[in-house]
Protein backbone atom coordinates (compact mmCIF):
# COMPACT_ATOMS: atom_id res chain seq x y z
CA UNK A 1 0.00 0.00 0.00
CA UNK A 2 2.91 2.35 0.71
CA UNK A 3 4.19 1.79 -2.81
CA UNK A 4 0.73 2.57 -4.20
CA UNK A 5 0.71 5.83 -2.23
CA UNK A 6 4.11 6.82 -3.59
CA UNK A 7 3.06 6.06 -7.16
CA UNK A 8 -0.12 8.12 -6.75
CA UNK A 9 1.86 11.02 -5.25
CA UNK A 10 4.33 10.95 -8.11
CA UNK A 11 1.51 10.84 -10.65
CA UNK A 12 -0.27 13.69 -8.89
CA UNK A 13 2.82 15.91 -8.97
CA UNK A 14 3.43 15.17 -12.64
CA UNK A 15 -0.18 15.90 -13.56
CA UNK A 16 -0.18 19.10 -11.52
CA UNK A 17 2.94 20.32 -13.32
CA UNK A 18 1.47 19.47 -16.71
CA UNK A 19 -2.15 20.61 -16.27
CA UNK A 20 -2.16 22.91 -13.21
CA UNK A 21 -3.43 22.19 -9.74
CA UNK A 22 -7.05 23.06 -10.49
CA UNK A 23 -7.36 20.74 -13.47
CA UNK A 24 -10.17 18.15 -13.19
CA UNK A 25 -7.70 15.33 -13.88
CA UNK A 26 -5.45 16.55 -11.04
CA UNK A 27 -8.38 16.87 -8.65
CA UNK A 28 -9.53 13.35 -9.51
CA UNK A 29 -6.03 11.97 -8.89
CA UNK A 30 -5.91 13.88 -5.60
CA UNK A 31 -9.19 12.30 -4.52
CA UNK A 32 -7.83 8.88 -5.46
CA UNK A 33 -4.73 9.50 -3.33
CA UNK A 34 -6.88 10.74 -0.44
CA UNK A 35 -8.91 7.52 -0.46
CA UNK A 36 -5.80 5.35 -0.33
CA UNK A 37 -4.26 7.52 2.41
CA UNK A 38 -7.46 7.29 4.45
CA UNK A 39 -7.45 3.49 4.14
CA UNK A 40 -3.80 3.35 5.12
CA UNK A 41 -4.31 5.64 8.12
CA UNK A 42 -7.27 3.55 9.26
CA UNK A 43 -5.16 0.40 9.13
CA UNK A 44 -2.39 2.13 11.08
CA UNK A 45 -4.82 3.35 13.75
CA UNK A 46 -6.41 -0.10 14.03
CA UNK A 47 -2.95 -1.63 14.41
CA UNK A 48 -1.98 0.87 17.10
CA UNK A 49 -5.24 0.31 18.97
CA UNK A 50 -4.91 -3.45 18.71
CA UNK A 51 -1.33 -3.27 20.01
CA UNK A 52 -2.43 -1.08 22.92
CA UNK A 53 -5.31 -3.41 23.80
CA UNK A 54 -2.98 -6.43 23.77
CA UNK A 55 -0.41 -4.56 25.89
CA UNK A 56 -3.00 -3.52 28.46
CA UNK A 57 -4.52 -7.01 28.55
CA UNK A 58 -1.11 -8.54 29.14
CA UNK A 59 -0.43 -6.01 31.90
CA UNK A 60 -3.75 -6.80 33.58
CA UNK A 61 -3.20 -10.53 33.22
CA UNK A 62 0.27 -10.23 34.71
CA UNK A 63 -1.18 -8.25 37.63
CA UNK A 64 -3.84 -10.92 38.23
CA UNK A 65 -1.18 -13.64 38.22
CA UNK A 66 0.67 -11.88 41.04
CA UNK A 67 -2.44 -11.88 43.25
Give residue 63's pLDDT. 67
Q: Which pLDDT belongs to residue 66? A: 61
- CA neighbor of 1 nearest in space, from 36, 32, 30: 36
d(CA 67, CA 63): 7
What is the per-residue pLDDT across 1-48, written as a single tens digit (0 to 9) for each?
Answer: 889 999 999 999 999 999 999 999 999 999 999 999 999 999 888 888
Q: How confident is the model at residue 53 (pLDDT cuts 50, 70, 90)?
A: confident
* Residue 60 or 14, more confident: 14
Cβ atoms within 10 Å, residue 12? 19
Question: CA 35 to CA 31: how far, in whole Å?
Answer: 6
In this model, does residue 67 exceed pLDDT 60?
no
* Coil, strand or helix at 26: helix
Give whole-number Cα distances, 5 to 18, 31, 59, 65, in Å. Answer: 20, 12, 36, 45
Amino acid sequence: MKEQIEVLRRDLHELAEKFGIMSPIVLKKSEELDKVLNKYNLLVVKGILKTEIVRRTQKLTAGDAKN
